[in-house]
Amino acid sequence: MNSKKKWPNFISWFLERPKKTGYILSLILNVLVILICFQRYHMLKEDQEREMKAVSDKIYENIEQSLKNCQATLVLLAFTINDNGIPQNFDRVSKQLIKTNPIISVLQVDPDGIIKYIHPMQGNEKALNINILDSESHKKEIYNSIKTKKIYFAGPLKLKQGGMGILGWLPVYKDNKFWGFTTAIIKLENLLKASGSNSIDHTEYEFLFSNKNPKTHREEFYFSTRKKLTETNYISKKIPNSNWTIYLVEKKHSDIYLPILIVGSLGILIGILLGLLTMRLLKAPETLNILLKDQETKLLKNELKFKTIFDQATIGFAILDAYTGSFKEANKKYCEMLGYTFEEIKEKGIANLTHPDDIETSLLNLKNLEEGKVQEYSSEKRYITKSGKTIWVNLNVSPLWENHEKPTSFIAFIKDITQKKEAEELVVKSQSQFKSLIDTIDGIVWEYNIETSTSTFISKKIESILGYTAEEYISCPTFWEDHIYTEDREFALRISTIVNKKYTNYDYEYRMVTKKGKIIWIRDIVNFVYENGKAVMSRGIMIDITVMKEAEKDLSNSFHLVSEQNKRLLNFSYIISHNLRSHTSNIESIISLIDNTDSEEERNEMMKLLKSVSNSLNETMNHLNEVVNINTNISLVIEPLNLSQYINKVKEVLSEQIKLSEATFIIEVGETNLVNYNSAYLESILYNLISNAIRYKHPKRKPIITIKLYKKRNKDVIEISDNGIGIDLEKNSDKIFGMYKTFNNNVDARGIGLFITKNQIDSMGGTIIVESKPNIGTTFKIYTK
Partner 1 sequence: MKKKIIWIIDDDAIYQKIIEKIIKKSGVISSHTSFSNGNEAINTLKNTLEDNKQLPDIILLDINMPVMDGWEFMEEIKYLKSKIDKRIIIYMVSSSIAPEDKNKSKTFTDIYSYIPKPVSVNDLIAIVSNE
Stretch that binds partner 1, among 259-267, 321-329, 440-448, 742-750 (CB under 8 A): 742-750
> CB-wise, 272 or 587, nearer to partner 1?
587
Interface residue with partner 1, options 749, 770, 771, 781 (CB under 8 A) = 749
Interface residue with partner 1, options 39, 454, 612, 618 (CB under 8 A) = 612
Alpha helices in 476-545 (DSSP H): 479-482, 486-502
> CB-wise, 262 or 569, nearer to partner 1?
569
567 touches partner 1 (CB under 8 A): no
Q: How far is the CB of 590 from partner 1 (least distance, A)?
A: 6
Residues ≥6 apart with Cβ < 8 Å to 120: 94, 95, 106
585 touches partner 1 (CB under 8 A): yes
Residues ≥6 apart with Cβ < 8 Å to 529: 535, 536, 537, 538, 539
Query: Considering only CA atoms, which of 220, 183, 227 is closest in space to residue 75?
Result: 183
Stretch that binds partner 1, among 243-251, 257-265, 584-592, 646-654 (CB under 8 A): 584-592
Residues ≥6 apart with Cβ < 8 Å to 753: 688, 691, 692
Interface residue with partner 1, options 233, 245, 742, 779 (CB under 8 A) = 742
Q: How far is the CB of 521 from partner 1 (least distance, A)?
A: 39
Cα separation, 762 vs 2, whole angstroms: 128
For the window 615-654, what string marks contact with partner 1 as x by the rule CB under 8 A? -x--------------------------------------
Interface residue with partner 1, options 7, 79, 530, 574 (CB under 8 A) = 574
Cα separation, 243 vs 223, whole angstroms: 16
Interface residue with partner 1, options 233, 586, 633, 661 (CB under 8 A) = 586
Q: How far is the CB of 444 from partner 1 (least distance, A)?
A: 51
Q: How far is the CB of 732 from partner 1 (least distance, A)?
A: 10
Residues ≥6 apart with Cβ < 8 Å to 489: 481
What is the 8-class DSSP label of residue 197? G
The answer to whether 97 and 120 are in contact (CB under 8 A) is no
> CB-wise, 494 or 578, nearer to partner 1?
578
> CB-wise, 330 or 613, nearer to partner 1?
613
Residue-wise DSSP of 201-262: -TTTEEEEEEEE-TTT--EEEESSS-SS---S-EEEEEPTTSSEEEEEEE--SHHHHHHHHH
The answer to whether 45 and 255 are in contact (CB under 8 A) is no
One-letter identity of residue 427: V
Interface residue with partner 1, options 308, 368, 464, 582 (CB under 8 A) = 582
Q: How far is the CB of 582 from partner 1 (least distance, A)?
A: 4
CA dihedral 713, 718, 724, 728 (to 10 degrees): -40
The answer to whether 116 and 110 are in contact (CB under 8 A) is yes
> CB-wise, 83 or 748, nearer to partner 1?
748
Stretch that binds partner 1, among 201-209, 263-271, 325-333, 578-586 (CB under 8 A): 578-586
581 touches partner 1 (CB under 8 A): yes
Residue 431, CA distances (Å) to 442, 447, 469, 536 in order: 19, 16, 21, 22
497 touches partner 1 (CB under 8 A): no
> CB-wise, 464 or 584, nearer to partner 1?
584
Treating both helix axes as pointing N-terminal to C-terminal, what angle do 546-595 and 600-632 enclose, rounded to 10 degrees?
170
> CB-wise, 39 or 582, nearer to partner 1?
582
Interface residue with partner 1, options 100, 577, 655, 676 (CB under 8 A) = 577
Interface residue with partner 1, options 129, 440, 589, 775 (CB under 8 A) = 589
> CB-wise, 85 or 774, nearer to partner 1?
774
733 touches partner 1 (CB under 8 A): no
> CB-wise, 611 or 715, nearer to partner 1?
611
Per CB under 8 A, contacts with partner 1 among 148-177 are none
Count of residues binding partner 1 (CB under 8 A)? 31
Interface residue with partner 1, options 220, 294, 588, 668 (CB under 8 A) = 588
Cα separation, 490 vs 484, whole angstroms: 9
Q: How far is the CB of 756 from partner 1 (least distance, A)?
A: 17
Name the 3-class secondary structure at 608.
helix
Show the beta-strand stretches assigned E in 64-177. 104-111, 117-119, 152-158, 164-173
Interface residue with partner 1, options 740, 767, 779, 781 (CB under 8 A) = 740
Query: Considering only CA atoms, which of 110, 190, 119, 205 is closest in space to residue 152?
Result: 110
Query: Considering only CA atoms, which of 650, 685, 684, 688 is closest in space to residue 667?
Result: 650
Stretch that binds partner 1, among 333-341, 520-528, 586-594, 710-718 (CB under 8 A): 586-594
Query: Considering only CA atoms, which of 700, 718, 706 is closest in space to residue 661?
Result: 700
578 touches partner 1 (CB under 8 A): yes
Give the distance between the most distant pair of CA atoms in the chain: 249
> CB-wise, 396 or 586, nearer to partner 1?
586
Q: How far is the CB of 586 from partner 1 (least distance, A)?
A: 5
566 touches partner 1 (CB under 8 A): no
For residue 728, report the phi and psi dihedrals to the nearest 5 degrees. Answer: -80, 95
Treating both helix axes as pointing N-terminal to C-terminal, what angle do 90-100 and 18-79 enclose, rounded to 10 degrees?
160
Name the site residues for partner 1 (rule: CB under 8 A): 574, 577-579, 581-582, 584-586, 588-590, 592-593, 596, 602, 606, 609, 612-613, 616, 731, 735, 740-742, 744-745, 747, 749, 751
